[in-house]
Chains A and B, each alone.
Chain A
């Protein structure tokens, strides 16, 4: 009984820890720019796939190296997703500031593209994309050096898009026909892939209790540790570094910061990159918990959003409390341990048994969140201010 309860609590906290890393990125981006990134889940998925790639790479290096792959995978996942985030911000979101709902739709489009990209990416596609970028941006560079760039820009860009697309597509087609399967085979495919934890992370730490025992698995301990590390890192970055100060300033008052000479565009890009990078780290963590598929992001994303809604914007503490609360609630209700707790009280027991599956637990947690928002519509720690807005 107690062992079961503690076991669920532990599981819930570790899930909450993953949610927390992901939500942290989402929350600082939302607090800064008012942008909700629907592709955040896909960035997590990219992080997970990066871990998979790094793992395979280290596997080929041999046994002693394989044990350490996770230590390299985390920073690499961070960098890869941060780069994707940076491209996303510079390429799309930058043009949509002040239009949060449109940004929502645009990022959803990006998430669809990323999902399908992971499903069908192969060498031909990569070569095609690289060619396109080379041609298109090369041409852009040439234009930017001409004196009459303003005049020819408007009609040159569409032509160049079509031309580069055409060339890239044709070369890709030719390549795929000459080399057949060697190049056109998808890297990952639609099936999920599995990441194996290094040997030192398998198993767990057995805790003996008077009426039974339960295991604290090392993987989950590692994840909790990783979360603590991330939070401390972000806290120190925001509070102690010059760029952290700028980020906080822009979060509080964008136009005033701009007046004082803070490059808000750079701050946005940097913050978005860091937020995305955190999603990558979260993806690294979820790859340790189970199989990774192109849909992985979707499973976590809604809970992550709920963390942002419940936690309130712009407060680290709010996100922490909300993530842990939601993760634990999900686990407690879903594993049926609450039903066991309320066994003496018949109606409550029936209620909790009805909700005692993973998917039904989400139903109940959502209902609880809606009730909670009736009491505190601004989240646990709403931002204080004199604005009449919520």
Chain B
């Protein structure tokens, strides 16, 4: 107890500092969100704006990856599954919404299904669909995570298993013509809650909601990665065995964080589906799932901001490059993987923090002090000693 109080309790000063920096961060986030909602629609063309909306939805998925890869060290190559599950959950409601009475979606009658399958029925209600967007991926992720983590399967093994799971889900959704319209996926949505889905106004509302969701997800991830839970995640990433020897059982935490991450990816998928107007098994492509990882890697792992930044930068680069040189995008993408891993391992944000910003400071004649151990530097004893030495 006593030793605890010596180390743990930060001074009131420090606490105030922390609150201040949190307030500043909140202010910046609100400012950016307002900028995105109010200013960007005036500046950008409709096409670019809709792209931005989609990429912001993808940024939520990137946050999900950052949470499990950056902080917990679980490299999931299968987040496309959860993304697609979220998309499908909402798309099923969108498909059912304009239908009256007992009529079936068009593709089902085409394949000779005479009764709505049981798992389609609850999706008639919007509330359930929204619930399912988060819960279905989270449950699938949690279950898969439990089965894998329970046996201490980790590292590369875990990555391979998630990759295989992607193939499996892809095959399943691709093969079930009767249940999910196979390769074509669910598309041609008309209305959502009575509003025309394709109207510019509705699309703008979706764009706004995406931004709000992104802010909420960011806040959630921020909250999760701070404090005890966040430290535990980082500890699991850095040395899982030591965490186990310290008396924690990492399995539960890993399952929990994987489920949360899967739920976030589900939200991303749903918003993406709303804005693109289609969900198909293509979202469960292995390539897409690994792309998500590269967004995070480019932005900077374990930084959250980096994940969002990376998703936006890479996707805009992709859309510009593939407009101009359709064929060479794969070369660029492959090169990006190699570059990020070998030359820029901590991504854009990491590079800025450790090289860019200090260099900038030194250009303006300011030298940043080298702080090896922040808590030690702030220790009054150490400060007094330092003053004595300098005198």
Q: Find out whether the CB atom of A390 lies under 8 angstroms from the CB atom of B147.
A: no
Give the chain A neighbours of B338 by CB distance below 8 A. Answer: 92, 106, 109-110
The docked-state distance in angstroms from the alpha carbon of A317 to that of B226 is: 47
Give the chain A neighbours of B252 by CB distance below 8 A. Answer: none
**Which residues of A369-390 are within 8 A (CB) of B?**
369-370, 373-374, 377, 388-390
Q: Find out whether the CB atom of B290 lies under 8 angstroms from the CB atom of A360.
A: no
Q: Find out whether the CB atom of A377 lies under 8 angstroms from the CB atom of B152.
A: yes
Q: Find out whether the CB atom of B333 lies under 8 angstroms from the CB atom of A109.
A: yes
Stretch at the interface among A66-74, A95-103, A237-245: A95-103
When the two chains form the complex, which single residue of B152, B165, B290 contacts A108, counting CB atoms closer than 8 Å? Answer: B290
When the two chains form the complex, which single residue of A30, A110, A388 contacts B241, counting CB atoms closer than 8 Å? Answer: A388
**Which residues of A53-74 are within 8 A (CB) of B?**
none
Q: Find out whether the CB atom of B156 lies under 8 angstroms from the CB atom of A36.
A: yes
- B316-351: CB near A (< 8 Å → 1, else 0) gives 000000000001101101111110111001000000
Q: Find out whether the CB atom of B159 lies under 8 angstroms from the CB atom of A109.
A: no
Q: Find out whether the CB atom of A360 lies under 8 angstroms from the CB atom of B335.
A: no
Q: Find out whether the CB atom of A102 lies under 8 angstroms from the CB atom of B341.
A: yes
Supposing A105-B341, A390-B154 touch, asked if A36 and B175 sit within 8 A by C-beta, the answer is no
- Cβ of A123 within 8 Å of any chain B Cβ, yes or no, is no
Q: How many residues of B contact A (CB 8 A)?
A: 47
- Cβ of B84 within 8 Å of any chain A Cβ, yes or no, is no
User: With contacts defined as CB atoms under 8 Å apart, how many contacts are there between chain A and chain B in the complex?
Assistant: 121
- Cβ of A302 within 8 Å of any chain B Cβ, yes or no, is yes
The docked-state distance in angstroms from the alpha carbon of A72 to that of B328 is: 34
The docked-state distance in angstroms from the alpha carbon of A108 to that of B167 is: 16
Q: Find out whether the CB atom of A116 lies under 8 angstroms from the CB atom of B290.
A: no
User: Which A residue's beta carbon lies closest to that of B293?
Assistant: A105
- Cβ of A329 within 8 Å of any chain B Cβ, yes or no, is no
**Which residues of B235-256 are within 8 A (CB) of A?**
241
In the assembled complex, the CB of A325 is this many whole angstroms from the nearest CB of chain B, namely 15
The docked-state distance in angstroms from the alpha carbon of A344 to that of B69 is: 48
The docked-state distance in angstroms from the alpha carbon of A96 to that of B334 is: 16
- Cβ of B174 within 8 Å of any chain A Cβ, yes or no, is yes
- Cβ of A51 within 8 Å of any chain B Cβ, yes or no, is no
Interface hub of B159, B168, B293, B294 (most chain A Cβ within 10 A): B168
- Identify the B interface with A (CB < 8 A): 69, 73, 75, 77, 147-148, 150-157, 159-161, 163-165, 167-168, 171-172, 174-175, 241, 286-287, 290, 293-294, 297, 327-328, 330-331, 333-338, 340-342, 345
Give the chain A neighbours of B336 by CB distance below 8 A. Answer: 109
User: Which B residue's beta carbon lies closest to that of A115?
Assistant: B330
User: Which A residue's beta carbon lies closest to that of B77?
Assistant: A104
Give the chain B neighbours of A369 by CB distance below 8 A. Answer: 164
**Which residues of A1-53 are within 8 A (CB) of B?**
30, 34, 36
- A318-333: CB near B (< 8 Å → 1, else 0) gives 0000000000000000
The docked-state distance in angstroms from the alpha carbon of A110 to that of B331 is: 9
The docked-state distance in angstroms from the alpha carbon of A198 to that of B68 is: 51
Give the chain A neighbours of B77 by CB distance below 8 A. Answer: 104
- Cβ of A362 within 8 Å of any chain B Cβ, yes or no, is yes
Q: Find out whether the CB atom of A101 lies under 8 angstroms from the CB atom of B342.
A: no
Q: Find out whether the CB atom of A113 lies under 8 angstroms from the CB atom of B335.
A: yes
The docked-state distance in angstroms from the alpha carbon of A306 to that of B161 is: 8
- Cβ of A256 within 8 Å of any chain B Cβ, yes or no, is no
**Which residues of A240-268 are within 8 A (CB) of B?**
none
